[in-house]
Structure 1
Amino acid sequence: MSTVFLVLLLIAAVVGANAIYARFTLVPVAFLQIAAGLLLSLIPLYRNFELEPEIFLLVIISVLMFNDGQNTNVRKLSHQLGTTLSLAVVLAIVTILIVGTVTHFLIPAFSLALSLALGAIITPTDAVAVSSITTKVSVPGEVMDTLENESLFNDASGIVAFNLAIAAVTTGQFSVMHGIGNFLYVFVGGIIVGLILGYVIVAIRIQLINMHVDTPSVIVPYTLLTPFVVYLVAEAAGVSGILAVVATGLIHGVQQERLRLTTSRLQIVMSTTWSIIASILNGIVFVLLGVSLPSVISHLQQRDTSSVAILVGIGILLYLVMTLVRFLWTQFDFAKIRAWDNHEKARNSLVLALSGVHGTITLAMAFSLPLTLGGHAFTYRNDLIFVAAVVILTSLLVPTILLPVLLPAKVDKVTPEDLAQAKVDMVTSAIHMIYARYGDTPNASEVIMILEGQRAVDGRPDRAQLNELFDQAYDLETHTVEQMVTDGEVTPQVAEKYMRVASQTRLQNQQSFGQRVILFFKFVVFGRWSWNRKARARRKAIHQIKTKGLSREQLIDRNRHVWDQMRAVEAKPYQAIVTFLNDSYATHNQQAVGIVRRAYDERHRRLSGTRDFQNAQNELLIQAFQLEYNFIQSQLATQKYSHALGNALYEQISTDQLVYLQSVNAE
């Protein structure tokens, strides 16, 4: 139970850091997650927290690598295959050898095998970490694609080299020829096993789709289990489980077109699920870094007070060595990146070198170091973890400072303001055309109500503006009901009952959070409102007199009759309010109008009861969405909208169409 609680706290820390980053993007999210981990380290439960190394490889690394593989653009990967292999395999091996040699020279206490293990740990780059520090700068597309492809395979290269080095540390023996042969067997064998398993798993999934067994409750768990199954099978065969997972992920990426033969709902659920899982797993690793750092530093200081300073210097030096090697590798065309001239080539090489950010895989491998060697505690485990942490932090800090100097600021192709305004125009056009074609028919009113929800925007509405709209809607409703009484459409008694409901709608929606809390205590703690006991007793007596002698069925009929009267009154004021809100709609009050409209729509749904025109309404809703598509096409044809803006709108319509049609069908 304590382990479950500890894991839940890790997830909560990730969520908290991500929530802060959503509002304050100046600091990379990785730093916020590390800070959250430092806070968790203050909790006594985490003082001796250890996560088994095998859990990192199986639960974290395998899942992340599979997700990276299935999201890789295979076409771009094939075009850059030479560059990718040069960076991810050849450069990774060269870097491991250089870092291992330098480390062994600087710290003779580290055997060569242990130094090479450190090189294998700190060599892999992390495209996710790169993305977190480049959100505000425009990285050349060729460079970013290269970084993403490199991180996919150099992770595997680093892990295979790391396993070989740890085996050498454990046994104390290492043969160059045996090491090369073992590397090829593990590397190539992992890819072959992954390809075979990938084809089998995809074939089964396609068969499930063809059999119409493609509900999220089946396909999503099936896909989530894939990296675990592939990893365990590959490890049992003695080959690289990580490379097998990557290969399986690539097969999923290649087969995406066939796997898209599923419902839109499943695609959205699948994409969202993987996005959330990858984000949480990446975040957990950085939180664990923050949790572990105080304990690691404490152990190092107990052994030697100068150890921490020395290891900080070693970590920074190794980062500089790796950055220099990366720069020279591309500058001397060992890995080619397209450039127009020597100046651009030098800039791309420098950006690629600085963007060699180390993150999740580096830290995960550091934590996967064995706790014991030969039955004794692994003496230098904390040293390696600390050096890896220094390299990670340095690789995050340096590009955060230097890349904004080297690269121009990122300019969004579509600003949130432009997208919001275009969506308002699109929905408004569809609403006007539906109203012109079908008028005030029940189907049209319901569809217009649904379309209104598309125009809502994020953020907090102006409270004064919101209250003013509710007041105006209530005044309009009062005037409409009074006119109905004058015209003899309803009796004064029924009108009075209806206006109580109308008044309640206004008061409930105008209350602030504090007022809602006070109202809650008035109802729950202090009794319903603050009237005295005599008033409550008097109302109870009147109610008993009115209902005396009535059976349960008669009381039900009486209540049903009251609600029927409410429905008869509500139709006309509701339509008046809808017309008023549509006429009042403008850019400056989108949020307030949307909230008021939803409040009255909800009351209308409650009072109007069930509907018997669902199929006709769905058909009309599909027409409305088609009108939105037509609007975008016309704007693109006249070049009023850019292609980027049009694509963004198309994507939102597709999502809205799925959500709204499902919600309507569920009613």
Structure 2
Amino acid sequence: MQTVFLVLLLVAAVVGANAIYARFSLVPVAFLQIAAGLLLALTPFYRHFELEPEVFLFAIISVLMFNDGQNTSMRKLSHQIRTTLSLAVVLAIVTILIVGTVTHLIMPQFSLALALALGAIITPTDAVAVSSITTKVSVPKDVMTTLENESLFNDASGIVAFNLAIAALVTGKFSVVSGIGNFLYVFVGGIFVGAILGYIIVAVRIMLINMRVDTPSVIVPYTLLTPFVVYLLAEAVGVSGILAVVATGLIHGLQQERLRLTTSRLQIVMSTTWSIIASILNGIVFVLLGVSLPGVISHLQQRDTSSVAILVGVGVLLYLIMTLVRFLWIQLGFARIRAWTNREKALNSLVAALSGVHGTITLAMAFSLPLTLGNHAFTYRNDIIFVAAVVILVSLLVPTILLPLFLPKQVDKVAEEDIAQAKAEMVTDAIHMLNARYGDTPNASQTIMILEGQRAVDGRPKKARLAELFVKAYDCEEQTIHQMVASGELTPDLADRYLQIAEKTQLQNQRSFWQRLLLFFRFVVLGRWSMSKQARLRRKRMQALRRRGITREQALAKNKAIWSEIRNTEQKPYAAVVKMLNDSYTQDNQQEVIIVRRAYDERHRRLSGTRDFQQAQNELLIEAFQWEYNFIQAQLATKKYNHELGNALYEQISTDQLVFLQSINAD
């Protein structure tokens, strides 16, 4: 139970940091997540927090690497395979050797095996971390693609090298030939096992699709379990579990066209689910960094007050060495990124070097260090974790400061203002078509109200304006009912019954949050007592009817007749309210009118109990969506809208239409 609570706190910290970033995006989200972790570290729950290294790799890293793999373009990867392998394998090994040697020279207390383990930890780059700090600048497309492809495989290179270094550290022995052979077995074997398992898993999923067993409740959990299964099986045969899940993810990406032969609903659910999970897991990594830092610093200070300053210097020095090595490697042509001029080549080399951000996998391997060596506490474990944390922080901070100095600002292909304006034009055109063909009928009016919801609306509805509209709607109903009584269409008794329903509609929709909370309390806590009280009243009422010679069946028939009369009565007041709301509609009160209209439409649907009304409205709305498509096609044909704006509007309509169709099925 305590573990579940700690995990929930981590997720809450990620959500809080993401919420702050959504409102204030000047600071990269990774820094906010680290800050959230530092706050958690102040709580007693995380004072002696220890993360199981195997759990970290299995539960977090495997999922993230699988997601990266399935979102990788195989076409781009195949075009850049030589550059990717040069950076992810050759450069990774060279960097590990250089960093390990330098560390061993400046810190002799670190054995060569331990220094190489540190090099393996801080070498892998993280494309997701790069994305989090480059949202404000426009990174060259080829550079970003190269970084994404590199991060898929250099993680595995780092992990394999790390495992070899730890094995040498534990046993005190290392053979170059054996090490290379083990590296190739673990590296190539991981890809091979992952590819085989990937094809099997995809084949089963396609079989489920062909059998029409492709509901989200089956396919989404099936896909979410994939990285865990692949990781465990690969580790069981002694190959890289991380590379195996990457290979399986790549197979999923390669088979996307076949996997898309399913419902649009499933595709949207799947895409959204993976996006949310990847975001949360990446955030948890940085929150854990913030949680762990205070404890690590405290242990270092207890041993030696100068240790922290020395290790900070070591971390900064190693980052500078790795950045310089990356720059020279690309600039000297060992890894090629397309460039037309020498200046562009130098810029690409510098951007790629500075964008070698370290994050998820670096922290994962640091936490994976064994707690003990030879039945004794691992003396330098906290030192290595701290150096890794310094490298992560510096690698995040440096590009955040430097990249905006020589890269242009990120410019959206379509401005939000243009999309909002185009939406307004699109909706207005559809509304004009509705009015021209169907006039001011209740069905058309309701469809118009739904279409209005597509417009971009800022802010929350005004309570005073909303209350005023509900009062006007009730007054409109009351006036209509009095006119019907005056003309002899209604009896005073039926009019009173109806006005009670109208007043209830007004009061129910104007309750504040606290009033609704009180109602909920009364329903939950006092519900049984209230139901028993109502049962007693019903029994007394039935006893009184029996004394008057009226049977239960006669009473029910009379009650049914009354409700039938109320349904017939409701038609005119409802139409009057619809007309009043349409006449009152402005751009300023759009939200309030839609809310009031929705309340009265829901009541009308409950009272009428007919499917014809809903069916007619559904048909009108589908027709309106088609008019919107036609409007966009016309604007694209006349080149009033560019293709990016047209695609954004198409996506908006498709999403709205899918949500609407799902609501029909739910009804």
TM-score of the alignment, normalized to the shorter chain, above 0.5:
yes
Q: What residue number does 1:379 align with? A: 379
Which position in structure 2 is the counterpart of 1:156? Answer: 156
Contact 1:73–1:253 at 8 Å: present in 2 too? yes
Which stretch of the first structure deviates more once superposed, 47-56 or 251-260?
Answer: 47-56
Report the counterpart of residue 229 of structure 1 in structure 2: 229
> Among the aligned pairs, what percent are the same residue?
79
* Corresponding position of 1:534: none
1:576-615 → structure 2 map (5 Å cutoff): 576-611=576-611
Whether 1:26 and 2:29 are equivalent positions in the alignment is: no
In structure 2, the partner of 1:5 is 5
Residue 190 of structure 1 and its aligned partner are, at CA, apart by 0.9
CA contact (8 A) 2:126 2:359 kept: yes
- In structure 2, the residue matched to 1:629 is 629
Please identify, of 497-506 and 644-653, the stretch whose mean Cα deviation from structure 2 is larger: 497-506
Q: Is the 8 A contact 2:14 2:36 kept in 1?
A: yes
Please tell me whether residue 388 in structure 1 is matched to residue 391 in structure 2: no
**Counterpart amino acid of residue 134 in structure 2:** T
Aligned-residue CA RMSD (Å): 3.0
Q: What CA distance in whole angstroms lies between the structure 2 residues aligned with 1:642 and 1:478?
A: 51
Matches within 5 A, 1:474-513: 474-513=474-513
Counterpart amino acid of residue 138 in structure 2: S
Structure 2 vs 1, CA of residues 616 and 469 (structure 1 numbering), >3 Å: closer, same or farther?
Answer: closer
> More displaced, 267-276 or 423-432?
423-432
Q: Which amino acid aligns with 1:323?
A: T
Aligned residue identity for 2:221: P
| Distance verdict in 2 for CA 1:597–1:83, change over 3 Å | farther
Secondary structure of the corresponding residue to residue 338 of structure 1 = coil
Kept in 2: contact 1:456–1:594 (CA 8 A): no
- Which whole-Å CA distance do the structure 1 matches of 2:583 and 2:635 have between them? 24
Q: What is the DSSP-based 3-state SS (H/G/I as helix, E as strand, rest coil) of the residue aligned with 1:238?
A: coil
Q: Distance in 2 between matches of 1:598 and 1:615?
A: 17
Shift of 1:386: 0.8
Instruction: Please say if residues 542 and 552 of structure 2, whose CA atoms lie closer than 8 Å, have aligned partners that are also in contact.
Output: no
Q: After superposition, what is the alpha-carbon deviation per residue over 1:335-366, rounded to whole angstroms, capped at 9, x for unaligned?
A: 22223323333222222222211111111111
- Report deviation, 1:431: 3.8
1:369 and 1:240 mapped to 2: Cα distance? 17
Worse-matched range after superposition: 15-24 or 554-563: 554-563
What amino acid does structure 1 have at the position aligned with 2:415? T
Q: For 1:374 and 1:185, how far apart are their aligned partners in 2?
A: 27
What one-letter code is carried by the residue in structure 2 that aligns with 1:66? F
Give the letter for the 1:494 counterpart.
Answer: L
Which secondary structure does the structure 2 equivalent of 1:212 belong to?
coil
* Structure 2 match to 1:115: 115
CA separation of 1:421 and 1:561: change in aligned 2, threshold 3 A: farther
Shift of 1:614: 6.4
Offset, 1:461: 2.5
Q: Distance in 1 between the 2:613 and 2:513 partners?
A: 38
- Counterpart residue number, 2:68: 68
**Which region of structure 1 is more displaced relative to structure 2, 571-580 or 642-651?**
571-580
Q: Specify the code of the residue in structure 2 equivalent to 1:433.
A: M
The equivalent of 1:643 in structure 2 is 643
Structure-2 change in CA distance of 1:516 and 1:383 (3 Å)? same
Deviations 1:163-215 (A, max 9, x none): 11111111111122221221111111111111111111111111111111111
Alignment check: 8 A CA contact 2:442 2:575 kept: no
The code of the aligned residue for 2:568 comes to: A
CA contact (8 A) 1:449 1:601 kept: no
Contact 1:186 1:239 in 2 (8 A): yes
Tell me which amino acid in the other structure corresponds to 1:403: L
Q: Output the amino acid matched with 2:96.
A: I
- Tell me the distance in 1 between the aligned counterparts of 2:547 and 2:412: 70
Q: Secondary structure at the match of 1:630?
A: helix
Distance change >3 Å, CA 456–CA 604, structure 1 → 2: farther
Structure 1: gaps of 5 or more residues? 528-539
The C-alpha deviation readout for 1:526-566, integer Å capped at 9, x for no partner, is: 99xxxxxxxxxxxx999998998565545544443443333
Alignment of 1:123-272 (within 5 A): 123-272=123-272
- Give the 3 Å change call, closer, same or farther, for CA 523–216 of structure 1 in structure 2: closer
- Mapping of residues 428-447 of structure 1, within 5 Å: 428-439=428-439, 447=447
1:383 counterpart letter in structure 2: D
Q: Residues 45 and 446 from structure 1, CA distance in 2 versus in 1: closer, same or farther, beyond 3 angstroms? A: same
Task: Show structure 2 runs of 5+ residues with no match.
Answer: 528-538
Conserved? CA contact 2:70–2:250, under 8 Å: yes
Aligned to 1:454, the other structure's residue is in SS state coil
Measured in 2, the distance between the counterparts of 1:525 and 1:237 equals 57
Residue aligned with 2:560, SS: helix
Residue 53, structure 1, aligned to residue 53, structure 2: yes
Per-residue CA distance 1:300-342 (angstroms, 9 max, x = gap): 1111111111111111111111122222222222222223323
Query: What is the one-letter code of the residue matched to 2:494?
Result: V
After TM superposition, give the deviation of residue 428 of structure 1 in Å.
Answer: 3.6
1:160–1:183 contact (8 Å) kept in structure 2: yes
Say if 1:121 and 1:579 are closer, same or farther in 2 by CA, change over 3 A: farther
| Cα distance, 1:562–1:211 mapped onto 2, change above 3 Å | same
Deviation readout 1:37-71 (Å, 9 max, x if unpaired): 22222232322222221111111111110000001
1:295 corresponds in structure 2 to 295
Q: Which amino acid aligns with 2:53?
A: P
Matches within 5 A, 1:255-404: 255-404=255-404
Structural mapping, 1:645-664, within 5 Å = 645-664=645-664
* In structure 2, C-alpha distance between the alignment counterparts of 1:140 and 1:407, rounded to whole Å: 9
Tell me how far 1:521 sits from its aligned partner: 8.6
Whole-Å separation in 1 of the counterparts to 2:354 and 2:191: 30
Aligned to 2:40: 40
1:96: Cα distance to partner? 1.3
- Which amino acid is the alignment partner of residue 499 of structure 2? M
- Partner Cα distance (2:436, 2:544) in 1: 52
Q: Give the distance between the partners of 1:323 and 1:158, measured in 2 at CA.
A: 16
Cα distance change of structure 1 residues 454 and 568 upon mapping to structure 2, 3 Å threshold: farther
